[in-house]
Amino acid sequence: MPPADAEPSMGKEKGAADSASPAHPPGERAVSVLWSFGKCLGALLPVYLAGYFGFSISIVLFGLMIYMGWKHSRLDKVMRLKSAMYLLENEMEFTTSSCLAFTCPQVNFPDVEKVEWLNKILQQAWPFVGQYLEKLLVETIAPAIRASSIHLQTLSFTKVNLGDKAMKVVGVKAHTEHDKRQVLLDLYVSYAGDVEINVEIKKYFCKAGVKGIQLHGKLRVILEPLIGDVPLVGAITMFFIRRPKLDINWTGLTNLLDIPGLNAMSDTMIMDAIASYLVLPNRLTVPLVADLHVAQLRSPLPRVTVSIMNGLERL
């Protein structure tokens, strides 16, 4: 049997542990209880309103199905965004572990080159890109939207933050064999950012926004024509060869766009707007010198290369 003096010592240790553990103040406990009670009331409110107004129970079930689908879609988007952020942050570790799992000593893609120096420049310049975007939205785009409709005269961007995650160029493939007067680059871009943009229309007490964007695609950049004077390049043309993958995490009133059905429709509409400017056959051309035929660069004539081989050599 344990000695008699062991019980008092155990009681002292228990009392010391209880005094060391932080006690929640009564106000915080009360707020927690009230919040739980409010959530229960909010869950039962649709059932009460359906009975009060004589609605069918099928309407309540339909609304519950829509809510569950919206909740599942939002959680799925958040998880995809977090997974993409983690993968971009730990790209080297993930690639190494994958190679070891498949017992391949080295993976080499000779046509696609890594450009870590470019990613470092993008990361360093990203806060200033955010400042430019905020100035563009607040001083140029917001006044244009307010002037377009009487119902949007109180619209304003309350928060514009590009976050800390910069766009990454996963790899670059250069093509210099087609034309000696141009440089053609294929940039494999990947962006999983914690961007946050909030919009408010004070007249209708309406708030909406975006919190998190994913964009992955192959961007072609053409430096053409090469000239013998500064800046050595006449214009920069860029476009996506095919539609990039886009995923947007909505906030505020635009949370409704995460409802299944509306989710695919909204993403398709936004992707169509991007494709009308940046996906083939559409091109974005930025001239760098004067007296340049920009129309010819935006809509170049197709080039076809035909190789004729001698039939006798085949035999």
Write the DSSP symbol of residue 242.
S
Measure CA 239 to chain center: 19
Residues near 55 by Cβ (< 8 Å), separated by ≥ 6?
A: 49
Is 289 a domain residue? yes
AA identity, residue 262? L
The radius of gyration of the chain from alpha carbons, rounded to an integer in Å, stands at: 29
Q: What is the pLDDT of residue 194?
A: 86
Average pLDDT over the chain reads: 75
Is 165 a domain residue? yes
Is 222 a domain residue? yes
Is 141 a domain residue? yes
Distances (CA, A) of 296 to 146, 160, 203, 224, 226: 36, 37, 47, 11, 15
Is 130 a domain residue? yes
Is 17 a domain residue? no
Domain residues for the domain of 141 are 106-298
Is 29 a domain residue? no
- Per residue in 222-247, pLDDT (tens digit) is 998 888 888 889 899 999 988 898 88
Calculate what percentage of the chain has a pLDDT beyond 90.
16
Is 93 a domain residue? no
**Neighbour count for residue 211 (Cβ, 10 Å):** 19
Against a cut of 0.75, is the pTM above it?
no
Q: Which segments of the chain have a pLDDT < 70?
A: 1-28, 39, 41, 43-44, 46-48, 50-51, 55, 57, 59-60, 62-64, 66-74, 77-78, 80-82, 84-110, 253-267, 296, 298-315
How many domains, in total, are found in the chain? 1
